[in-house]
Amino acid sequence: MTQGPRESVLQRRLTLSELLDVPTFTEVVKGFVELYKIGIKVFDEKGGKLADIKIGNGDFCGYVFSFPEGRSRCTKQVGRVKDGPLAPTQGARLPLLDDSAPIKGLVTSPCFTGLRYLLLPITFEGDVLGRVVFGPFLPAEQKGFPESLTEVSAQLEIGRAQELVEKVRRAPESTVARVMVHFAQVLDTLVAQGQRTLLTSQLHIEATLVQNRELEDRAQKLSEMNVKLKELDRLKSAFLATVSHELRTPLTSIIGYSEMLAEGLAGPMSQEQNEYVRTIMDKGETLLKLISSILDISQIEAGRVRLNFEPSDIIEVVQSSVSSVKPQAQKKGITLDVQLPKEPVNAACDRDRLRQVVVNLLANAVKFTPTNGKITVILTPVSAQDDLGKKGYRISVEDSGIGIPKDQQEKIFQSFYQVDSSSTREFGGAGLGLAIVKSFVEGHGGVVKVVSAPGQGARFIAVLPEKPATPQVQIAPPVQPTPVANDRF
């Protein structure tokens, strides 16, 4: 639901009932009425009654009202004081003030009964917000009744009327006018106080609303940006997937043909030629691995990888992974110690993906362990795993290599992250192996951890469940690298 902009309390014309705390104000009015024994009515600019405290005149007015003509004249008089102009017109006149200066806006409205009303506008910052009606009172100088009363009915008994009118407060008009001015001052103070309170609270509300709107705008912009970033990310992943796929085909041919040349299938080659061709083959293999990793990660990021779990012999998975890195380990004189349990380890897994997990961990171990180092691979039997809260097994790959500083141990699982980017030149790789490991292990419902310290080797442990929760799972994208501080978007 959209809301139009709210009119500010600073622009809006305030009403009397907004400015006054009506219950408190009514108490003040009551106090005045009791003190001066003259009724007070307060109306807002639309004629709505804010206070109406009567005193003394009820019996007299009731008597006059009991005559049809009295009723009609009375109604007219009430209309005059309530809704008529606050000006000396339509039967009203300027008040009789003995010594004091005229009171702005104050008018006297004589009633046909001889009683009188005083009317005073309530103004605030130049606007008329309503009026105060003081009365009726009996003018001090009044003797007997005017003709306008006696005309009401031949049945009207003057003696009775006289008796009843005695209960109405008798006072000089100028005195009542002064009381009225006094009342108006009190009212002014209350209105000013009310305005301050109202403005403070309303401005506070408005400020909060403005802040909320700004926050909403920002949230909206962020979510739009997020959508754009996700789309860009998807395009990047799709692009990487296509490019790496397209690169793989010719690269496989390059490797295949150089292998044939090296084998002498196209005729004998000199020793030097043979070395060159083998270098082409080696570099081709490295490039192929890199391209395969990029393809894997981009497919994971694009959400295109599904794991299919089937009952598997985990010992076989570990053994075949170890065999695939054996040649590199041997080249560096690294000892491979493989500790497997005596009993079979049967669990459901995506065999190819799990093999890739172990191969990636082993390839890193070989890469980051100096010559003549040692790598220990341990597979545990199936047993209760605290990390998973269910039964599972652990594959641990430990090396005696360069180790990983504590503050880097979480980051190395992000894609394209390397502890030392210059290591790319020394050790090769693109920082994708562990991101793939993490995605695949978590896809199985497992966890991967690292224990290491610089110079003291590293131990990677993959804890995997015996039975993944579902037979098939679409794996979530890996953690993206955290942007560096000045990398704003």
Query: Applying CB under 6 A, which residues contact ligand ADP?
Result: 360, 364-365, 368, 399, 401-404, 412, 417-419, 423, 429-435, 458
For the bound state, the minimum distance from the C-beta of residue 391 to ligand ADP, rounded and expressed in Å, comes to: 28
Q: Which of 466, 436, 454, 453 is nearest to 353 (CA)?
A: 436
For the bound state, the minimum distance from the C-beta of residue 399 to ligand ADP, rounded and expressed in Å, comes to: 5
d(CA 222, CA 488): 13
Residue 37 or 449: which CB sits closer to ligand ADP?
A: 449
For the bound state, the minimum distance from the C-beta of residue 224 to ligand ADP, rounded and expressed in Å, comes to: 32
For the bound state, the minimum distance from the C-beta of residue 483 to ligand ADP, rounded and expressed in Å, comes to: 18
For the bound state, the minimum distance from the C-beta of residue 464 to ligand ADP, rounded and expressed in Å, comes to: 19
For the bound state, the minimum distance from the C-beta of residue 423 to ligand ADP, rounded and expressed in Å, comes to: 5
- Whole-Å CA distances, 110 to 39, 83, 164, 192, 331: 15, 15, 18, 31, 121
Residue 261 or 404: which CB sits closer to ligand ADP?
A: 404
The length of the chain is 489
Is residue 340 within 8 Å of residue 413, measured between CB atoms? no
Contacts of 167 (CB under 8 A, 6+ apart): 56, 57, 59, 60
Contacts of 117 (CB under 8 A, 6+ apart): 77, 81, 108, 109, 110, 111, 133, 134, 135, 136
Instruction: State the CB neighbour count (10 A cutoff) for residue 20.
Output: 26
Is residue 117 within 8 Å of residue 38, measured between CB atoms? no
For the bound state, the minimum distance from the C-beta of residue 353 to ligand ADP, rounded and expressed in Å, comes to: 16
Residue 317 or 366: which CB sits closer to ligand ADP?
A: 366
Indicate the residue type of 64.
V
Residue 48 or 405: which CB sits closer to ligand ADP?
A: 405
Both tokens assigned to 420: 């030392």
- CB-nearest residue to ligand ADP: 429
d(CA 220, CA 2): 14
Q: Which of 320, 329, 321, 314 is nearest to 400 (CA)?
A: 329
Residue 60 or 368: which CB sits closer to ligand ADP?
A: 368
DSSP state of 368: T
For the bound state, the minimum distance from the C-beta of residue 217 to ligand ADP, rounded and expressed in Å, comes to: 39
For the bound state, the minimum distance from the C-beta of residue 447 to ligand ADP, rounded and expressed in Å, comes to: 17
- Whole-Å CA distances, 382 to 342, 352, 439, 465, 471: 12, 20, 22, 9, 19
DSSP H stretches of helix in 138-172? 147-150, 158-165
Please give, one letter per residue, the 3-state secondary structure of 122-138: EEECCEEEEEEEEEEEE
Residue 419 or 473: which CB sits closer to ligand ADP?
A: 419
Residue 194 or 401: which CB sits closer to ligand ADP?
A: 401
Residue 20 or 458: which CB sits closer to ligand ADP?
A: 458
Is residue 148 within 8 Å of residue 10, measured between CB atoms? no
Residue 81 or 334: which CB sits closer to ligand ADP?
A: 334
Residue 425 or 488: which CB sits closer to ligand ADP?
A: 425
DSSP assignment of 93-114 = B----SSSPPPTT-EEEE-TTS
For the bound state, the minimum distance from the C-beta of residue 313 to ligand ADP, rounded and expressed in Å, comes to: 26
